[in-house]
Amino acid sequence: METAMRQRGGREKNAGHDAVSTRQPAPSGMVYHHRTKIIVLLLLLLAVLARVFLWGGRVAEDPPPSLSWWQTTIIYQIYPRSYQDSDGDGVGDIRGIIQRLDYIRSLNVRAIWLSPIFRSPMRDFGYDISNYTDIDPTFGNLEDFDNLISAAHDRGIKVILDFVPNHSSDLHPWFQLSRQGVAPYKDYYVWTSPGEPPNNWLSLFRGPAWTLDSVRGELYYHAFMVQQPDLNWRCAQLVEEMNNVLRFWMSRGVDGFRVDAIQNMFETENLSLNEPPSGDPDVEKDSWYSLRHDYTFDLPEIGGAVRRWRDVLNEYEALDGKARYLVVETLFDNDVSIRNQYYDYGADMPFNFDLLRVNRSCGGHCIQHYVNRELGHLSQGQWPNFVVGNHDNPRVASKMGKDFVNAVNMLLLTLPGTPTTYYGEELGMSDVHVSFDQGQDLQAKGQGEEYFRKYSRDASRTPMQWNEGKHGGFTSGCVPWLPVSQTSSYENVESQTVSSQSSPLNLYRKLAVLRNEPCFQYGGLEYGVVNDNIFSYIRSTPAGESYLVTINFGHDVSIDNFADALNGVRLGEITLTTGNLKSGKYHVGDKMDLYQLELYPGEGLVIKLR
């Protein structure tokens, strides 16, 4: 969702919800006395050897489960304006993405998610759509898109599109006909009588959420920008129009959708109801956060909409037997059950953004708290996921520091479930300073320079850094749409590919290959040593190998006894290391005693146990 919302949370208390240890039960029925000790000892031995735990304490499946493609791949988010410019106009495009598919394949990525590429006036960079079934000329045309689908599928890469159901652009033909009162379009948006706004509802982009239209003479509702009128999902004709949008793109080969701003889709039918104050003393009175959103956010009718979309996706799955993926964007919320209700609605998953909150004040216990919020609250059949960066948030290197890029990628790619990587995080790209004059984030610029400095999203959307050439190899043009980082001369794909094996890119590739191991694909998780510095866990399957993952997210060198956490297992072999040069004592292939591991801040190891 294109929003400059404040990220709340920072460091939170540890949830104290540990995974439940599961042991094999003793056999029932009569047992001969002289065999009792032997059987008990065998059971204890099996319990120690197995050490297999799924999130929530469930035992991992054996034989291996049948997993869908979206459960086995990394999802790689591309911001198309910033990935690769093919024609020298300074803006990335579809042909540029096609040029880089082999690179994406080299990351062991099998699914790309594209931020909006639909026709748009670009007031909100594509999240204000004026035609849901066409490509904006900035990015190319439908033929280019078809070529992308073909080229990606040839390489075994799935393509996921953004779906923006909450609002359109005010330049969409539907809105132009709606403001003229033309049936059935007159009911495609949320209108109320002329005069004063019917309630106190506020826009997420600050100020009143109602604007008077000069043509219709009535006010329309917009949860976001004035130029983004909300669609009326209580209108049956609109519902079918949007279902047909999904059908249009799936007929062209699209493999799934990420749904934007889903929690804003419905408003109460009684428009006279005011939303109560939130009681937050730290926000301005015209801020969205100054109200509690009882009538405009997370309404129960959303469930029916998701189920209808799932029915549409199932139409295509029934035709060719290929799974279609549906993931929804949900905001930070202290109640995990609100997020998880989307599983029941029919989504494959809601994005879990908890790790976006992580910064340098978040040590081992803090990381465990956020991991627990996901793994400790899933029901049977619900698949986890983790996200560490996206187009609305600061990059990992800027939040955590360069020394922690490898550590965060190691965490992301070894936790259970489906990981999502924002382009450039595999390199450790940093936020780029973008001056007010250079800024492209119109929503932030429209609220003044001070607001822009605090909340502009431009810094994390700068061009991908491919090589040490002009503009980092992103464009052959004179001026890219946003400035390229000055670090592109040495922090780029080309140099990191040929540099040390522990460069962020090379380590990322190795971690991505390691994810193919059964224990990382579907195995259980049990916590190991967790303290103010260290977060560690064991990934295992009943019949496979076990790995210990241990990372220092703290501020101090930590020396810890992992043998005790592993019930006496003392030996292991290093499979991967972050290669933190402050230590340099651990190397891939080293056999090591787990009794005392010494890890520096930002240092992590993956260790094979058996």
Catalytic residues: 260, 329
% helix, strand, coil for the chain, step of 5: 30, 15, 50
CA 578 remoteness from chain centre: 23
Cβ neighbors of 397 (< 8 A, separation 6 or more) are: 404, 405, 428, 429, 430, 431
- What CA–CA distance (Å, rounded) separates 515 from 108? 9
CA 494 remoteness from chain centre: 26
Cβ neighbors of 71 (< 8 A, separation 6 or more) are: 383, 417, 418, 521, 522
- What CA–CA distance (Å, rounded) separates 547 from 169? 50
- What CA–CA distance (Å, rounded) separates 111 from 418? 11
349-350/524-530 β-pairing: unpaired
Give the tokens for residue 342: 């989307």
Q: Are residues 570 and 595 in contact, defined by beta-carbon separation less than 8 angstroms?
A: yes
List the alpha helices (DSSP H) in 293-378: 302-320, 336-345, 364-375
SS3 437: coil
Cβ neighbors of 14 (< 8 A, separation 6 or more) are: 365, 366, 368, 369
Q: Are residues 270 and 192 in contact, defined by beta-carbon separation less than 8 angstroms?
A: no
362, burial (CB in 10 Å: exposed 0-12, middle 13-18, buried 19+)? buried
Question: Which residues does residue 256 pair with via DSSP β-bridges, in sequence order?
Answer: 160, 325
- What CA–CA distance (Å, rounded) separates 552 from 407? 8
Q: What are phi and psi of 540, to 5 degrees?
A: -150, 160
Q: Are residues 112 and 104 in contact, defined by beta-carbon separation less than 8 angstroms?
A: yes
User: What does DSSP assign to residue 21?
Assistant: P
Q: Are residues 109 and 512 in contact, defined by beta-carbon separation less than 8 angstroms?
A: yes
Q: Are residues 286 and 206 in contact, defined by beta-carbon separation less than 8 angstroms?
A: yes
Q: Which residue type occupies 298?
A: D
Kindly report the length of the chain: 610
Q: What are phi and psi of 247, to 5 degrees?
A: -65, -40
